[in-house]
Amino acid sequence: MDTTTRAAKIPFNQTEINWDNLDKTKLSVVGVGLFGGVTAVLYPVSVIKTRMQVASGDAVRRNALATFKNILKVDGVPGLYRGFLTVSTGAIPTRIIFLTALETTKAATLKLIEPLKLSEPVQAGIASGLGGFSASLCSQALFVPIDVISQKLMVQGYSGHARYKGGIDVAEKIIKADGLRGLYRGFGLSVITYAPSSAVWWASYGSSQRMIWSALGYLHDTEDAPSQLELVSVQATGGVIAGTVTSCVTTPIDTIKTRLQVMDNQNKPKASEVVKRLIAEDGWKGFYRGLGPRIFSSSAWGTSMSACVQKLKRSDFGDVLNLNAIPIMLGVLY
């Protein structure tokens, strides 16, 4: 077999490499650049979703495309990156914590359930689901304050929301009004949203990939080698399935959480009041504001991150640097 063929093929038994064989330095160092690139590509989608979720008055009727055009008209391209510096500063270490907890829990869970002799898709679903739940819990303590600050920056000046000079200004005003606990507004809902959301995403992603590999005939033939195209296609399909399932299940809670987090410091409604207001403004469909962008973001981010992690698991530093386009391509496609 020539070099080109070998480069294009990955033995199926290496499509997933366990945590014990992973180069942690590579994950931490090179992963920062890869995950930072994914965040930059997908950040505007998060801004659009957040704007849709907090919209009031005539803005309630805008779809994702109309919201996108409005942001460009009023603020230009910089409007799509409000709060990006805050997110990029905090999100990268948060993702490293997330992935460390994810992979560690997955590896430990697979060892625990191995004696049960469950099917491959079920094992993958259980291990990935518990890994996602654990990872989300571990990362929330750092993520929630970043989320609160960035979302206030995303919606500043929009639908009556206050304006700020930057992330530090937001943090100072929140702490002045509510103390440090103000940075954790919506923490309970964040845990309720992201821990189950992460569990559902990774469970759906892991089990759907296993079922696809089985349908392609690779699951029990570990010596056969899927091509790079097949590997990326299966990862992307699994990501879209997982993103769609997760978004449909958790968007209502995410909408309530977002509204709570962006409220003015003097206006502190309870979750029940936010629910009543949403129903009064837009009926039950109001809970699904921003569903389209959220499906897009969840599918693209999760697929891109997984592709990055899988590449980091099996590549040398030089090989990783040659494949930085992976997350960008997936971000554009999905």
Q: What is the pLDDT of residue 76?
A: 92
What one-character-per-residue DSSP string does 285-297 give?
Answer: GGGGTTHHHHHHH
Question: What residues are paired with 227 via a beta bridge?
Answer: 9
Q: What is the pLDDT of residue 72?
A: 93
Find how far residue 225's CA is from the centre of its chain: 30
Listed range (3-12, 20-29, 113-122) with the worst mean pLDDT: 3-12
Q: What is the pLDDT of residue 226?
A: 74
Of the two residues 32 and 270, the one the predictor is more confident about is 270
- Measured from the Cβ of residue 292, the count of other Cβ atoms closer than 10 Å reads 18
CA pair distance 131, 135, nearest whole angstrom? 6
Identify the top-confidence range among 10-19, 44-53, 92-101: 44-53
- Taking residues 94-116, report their average pLDDT: 84
Whether pLDDT at 167 is above 50 = yes
Whether pLDDT at 240 is above 90 = no
Listed range (142-146, 182-186, 250-254, 299-303) with the worst mean pLDDT: 299-303
pLDDT tier at 253, thresholds 50, 70, 90: confident
Whether pLDDT at 106 is above 50 = yes
Question: What residues are paired with 9 via a beta bridge?
Answer: 227
Three-state secondary-structure class, residue 269: coil
Three-state secondary-structure class, residue 270: coil
Find how far residue 40's CA is from the centre of its chain: 13
- Taking residues 99-124, report their average pLDDT: 85
pLDDT tier at 328, thresholds 50, 70, 90: very low
Map tokens 């510096």 to a residue: 85
Q: What is the pLDDT of the chain when averaged over all its residues?
A: 76
Contacts of 122 (CB under 8 A, 6+ apart): 207
Three-state secondary-structure class, residue 173: helix
Task: Go through the chain and tell me how many residues it has.
Answer: 334
CA pair distance 259, 8, nearest whole angstrom? 47
First to last CA, the chain: 34
pLDDT, tens digit, for every residue of 49-87? 888 888 877 777 788 898 899 899 988 999 999 888 888
CA pair distance 235, 237, nearest whole angstrom? 6
- Measured from the Cβ of residue 211, the count of other Cβ atoms closer than 10 Å reads 18
Residue 132 tokens, joined: 């996602």
CA pair distance 72, 80, nearest whole angstrom? 8
Give yes or no for a contact between 53 and 288, defined as CB atoms under 8 angstroms apart.
no
Question: Model pTM?
Answer: 0.64
Listed range (9-23, 128-142, 257-271) with the worst mean pLDDT: 9-23
Of the two residues 154 and 18, the one the predictor is more confident about is 154
What one-character-per-residue DSSP string does 191-251 give?
Answer: HHHHHHHHHHHHHHHHHHHHHHHHHTT-TT-TTS--BHHHHHHHHHHHHHHHHHHHHHHHH
Q: What is the pLDDT of residue 321?
A: 34
CA pair distance 70, 48, nearest whole angstrom? 10
Which amino acid type is present at position 59? A
pLDDT, tens digit, for every residue of 275-303? 888 888 888 888 888 888 888 887 777 66
Of the two residues 250 and 95, the one the predictor is more confident about is 250
CA pair distance 151, 59, nearest whole angstrom? 17
